[in-house]
Amino acid sequence: MGEDRRLRAVVALARGMAAAHTPQESWRAAADGACRALSGSFAALSVWERERGLLRVLVNVGNRSADEEEFPEDETYPVHQFPEIAEFLHERWLEGGEPNAWVETAAGPVADRRRGGYCHQRVAALRRRGRGCCVVAPIVLNGRAWGELYVARPAGEPVFHGDDAAFATVLASVVAAGIAQSERLEEARRLAFTDSLTGLGNRRAVDLRLDEAMEAHRRDGTVISLVVCDLNGLKKVNDSYGHAVGDQVLERFGSVLSRCAAELPHVLAARLGGDEFCLLAVGPSADEVVRVAGDLCARARDLEPGDGVACGVASTGDPIGPLRSARRLFRLADAAQYRAKAAGSMEPVVAGREGDDGEDPVVRLADRPPAPVDPAHPGDRRRIRGRRS
């Protein structure tokens, strides 16, 4: 391959990874770009999991065999089967600079027949899958061995040579830079949609998921349920014990909320801000969500210090009327939560049940004269009117 062609291949690989929007797309762009650059028929990108002692395949591209998926769920190989990986994992290569790629062929050494199979796992894999040769390039990220880039050619095709291995080393460096960029972007995305104190989703994550859920609801009637809950007595905890203890209560409740969310599929647990949290369920029935909300209330009563949680539920699976906007679902869940708080209820209050007609509380209150204010709960109705308008 001429120098100009190789340079174009490097640029194409870098551009492909830069254009990726997800880690999976980045992995595929890396493997596909390397496969094209080296005129291979197959390529894989793998990560070395030190804590598990495994080489885990992230993506396979090109002419895959029957046992190779594009994004395998659990295609792993014990590191001890690959002595060269163990060497890199122990970072012996640091003494002489970053590791270089090397070439393997299907004509490699054969094992002792008494033990069966081949003594070299890469040779065994080449023969088993009808490939004639491969080039393996270690990937180094932040000064540590991260994984490897693997490109193969079928039996009968020209065997990779030394110049190909040197070029693969260059490609691995480009891939490492792309992976680092992808990981930084993924971390930025994670932070943008994560509450820093509890590790739960934040309001932005809820809004995004709810917009997607609304599309599904309009399209096929998918049930959407929203549980809004407010920790009781957090101000008292902050005033009595300090904000550090208050933060611990928020963190502990976040763990309880996350545990309850795990009882149902397709549920997002989030902190909306301050002492307000929510569960957004897409798909499960209203009864299932109400059951989980009841479990949440029961678990929250055991948190110390604190006075449990006020919980409101609104679900399209209940008679709440047509859902024209995500804002209306929030209003209904909010109003139910405030009714729970006003009544001191230890159980969730559900919009559309127990005589509730499911009418939008903001619209309903706007059309009525002001209601008498309960001295025990001053401003309750006014707070409902002012929420998320």
List, as one string, the DSSP characters of 94-109: GGGSSPPPEEEETT--
Tokens 């040197």 belong to 166
pLDDT over 60 at 252, yes or no? yes
The average pLDDT across 141-147 equals 81
Type of residue at 13 = L
How far is the C-alpha of 241 from the C-alpha of 244, rounded, in Å?
8
pLDDT the model gives residue 364: 36
Residue 366's pLDDT band, with cuts at 50, 70 and 90, is very low
Instruction: State both tokens at 170.
Output: 């260059």
Three-state DSSP class for 372?
A: coil
- The residues, any chain, with a CB within 8 Å of residue 52's CB and separated by 6 or more, are 76
Backbone angles phi, psi at 101, to 5 degrees: -75, 160
What sign does the CA torsion over 126, 129, 132, 134 have? negative
pLDDT over 90 at 151, yes or no? yes
How far is the C-alpha of 93 from the C-alpha of 84, rounded, in Å?
10
Instruction: State both tokens at 320.
Output: 């709440």
Residue 297: CA count within 13 A, CB half-sphere: 22
Three-state DSSP class for 357?
A: coil
Q: How many CB atoms lie within 10 A of CB 48?
A: 22
pLDDT the model gives residue 1: 55
User: How would you classify the pairing of strands 267-273 and 144-154?
Assistant: unpaired
pLDDT the model gives residue 306: 67
Reported pTM: 0.55
CA dihedral 78, 83, 85, 87 (to 10 degrees): 130
Picking from 220, 356, 347, the residue whose alpha carbon sits closest to that of residue 283 is: 220
Give 142: exposed, middle or buried? Use CB within 10 Å, 0-12, 13-18, 19+. Answer: exposed
Region of poorest pLDDT, from 216-220, 243-247, 303-307, 372-376? 372-376
Identity of the highest mean pLDDT range in 111-115, 190-194, 328-332: 328-332
Active site residue: 164, 275, 334, 356, which one?
A: 275
Higher pLDDT, 269 or 375: 269
Higher pLDDT, 363 or 274: 274
Region of poorest pLDDT, from 97-101, 110-114, 126-130, 217-221? 110-114
Which residues on neighbouring strands pair with residue 267, listed in sequence order?
281
The average pLDDT across 189-207 equals 84
Residue 164 annotated as catalytic: no
Type of residue at 145 = A
